[in-house]
Amino acid sequence: MEYAFKEDRYDKMQYRHCGISGLQLPAVSLGLWHNFGDIDNQQTARDILRLAFDKGITHFDLANNYGPPPGSAEENFGRIFKQDFRDHRDELIISSKAGWGMWPGPYGDLGSRKYLIASLDQSLKRMGLEYVDIFYHHRPDPGTPIEESMGALNQIVRQGKALYVGISSYHPEETKKAVKILKDLGTPCLIHQPKYSMFDRWIEDGLLQTLTEEGVGCICFSPLAQGLLTDKYLKGIPDDSRAHSHRGNGAIEESAITPERIAKAIKLNEIAKRRGQNLAQLALAWVLRHKIVTSVLIGVSKTQQLLDSIKCLDNLTFTDAELKEIDKVLL
Ligand SMILES: NC(=O)c1ccc[n+]([C@@H]2O[C@H](COP(=O)([O-])OP(=O)(O)OC[C@H]3O[C@@H](n4cnc5c(N)ncnc54)[C@H](OP(=O)(O)O)[C@@H]3O)[C@@H](O)[C@H]2O)c1
Model confidence pLDDT, tens digit, residues 213-225: 999 999 999 999 9
Does this model's pTM top 0.85? My answer is yes
| Under 8 Å between Cβ of 202 and 171 | no
DSSP 8-state code for residue 160: T
Q: What whole-number distance in Å separates Cα of residue 205 and Cα of residue 210?
A: 10
- Classify 189 as helix, strand or coil: strand
What is the CA(114)–ligand 1 centre distance, in A? 30
What is the CA(310)–ligand 1 centre distance, in A? 13
Q: Whose CA is nearest to atom 5 of ligand 1?
A: 221
Q: Which of 232, 249, 252, 281 to mutate to test the pocket of ligand 1 (most atoms within 8 A of CB)?
A: 232
What is the CA(60)–ligand 1 centre distance, in A? 13
**What backbone phi and psi angles, to 5 degrees, belong to 21?**
-80, 170
Write the CB contacts of 179 (distance below 8 Å, at least 6 apart in sequence).
188, 189, 214, 216
- Closest ligand 1 atom number to CA of residue 226: 21
Q: Whose CA is nearest to atom 30 of ligand 1?
A: 305
What is the CA(226)–ligand 1 centre distance, in A? 5
Q: What whole-number distance in Å separates Cα of residue 81 and Cα of residue 60?
A: 11
Q: What whole-number distance in Å separates Cα of residue 174 and Cα of residue 324?
A: 31
Domain extent listing, the chain: 15-330
What is the CA(224)–ligand 1 centre distance, in A? 6
Q: What whole-number distance in Å separates Cα of residue 141 and Cα of residue 134?
A: 19
Q: What whole-number distance in Å separates Cα of residue 160 and Cα of residue 113?
A: 16
Encode the chain (331 residues) as per-residue pLDDT tens digits: 679 999 999 999 999 999 999 999 999 999 999 999 999 999 999 999 999 999 999 999 999 999 999 999 999 999 999 999 999 999 999 999 999 999 999 999 999 999 999 999 999 999 999 999 999 999 999 999 999 999 999 999 999 999 999 999 999 999 999 999 999 999 999 999 999 999 999 999 999 999 999 999 999 999 999 999 999 999 999 999 999 988 888 999 999 999 999 999 999 999 999 999 999 999 999 999 999 999 999 999 999 999 999 999 999 999 999 999 999 999 9
What is the CA(274)–ligand 1 centre distance, in A? 25
Q: How many residues does the chain have?
A: 331
The vertex-240 CA angle with 62 and 219, nearest 5°, equals 30
What is the CA(186)–ligand 1 centre distance, in A? 34
Tell me the one-letter amino acid at 319: T
Output the ligand 1 site: residues, CB below 6 A.
Answer: 31-35, 61, 138, 168-169, 193, 221-227, 230, 232, 241-242, 280, 297-301, 305, 308-309
Q: Give the CATH number of domain 15-330.
A: 3.20.20.100
Tens digits of per-residue pLDDT, 36-65?
Answer: 999 999 999 999 999 999 999 999 999 999
Q: How many helices (H) and strands (E) does the chain have?
A: 10, 10
Estimate the crossing angle of helix 42-54 against helix 72-80, to 10 degrees.
Answer: 60
Nearest to 229 by CA among 276, 275, 287, 274: 287
- Closest ligand 1 atom number to CA of residue 238: 40
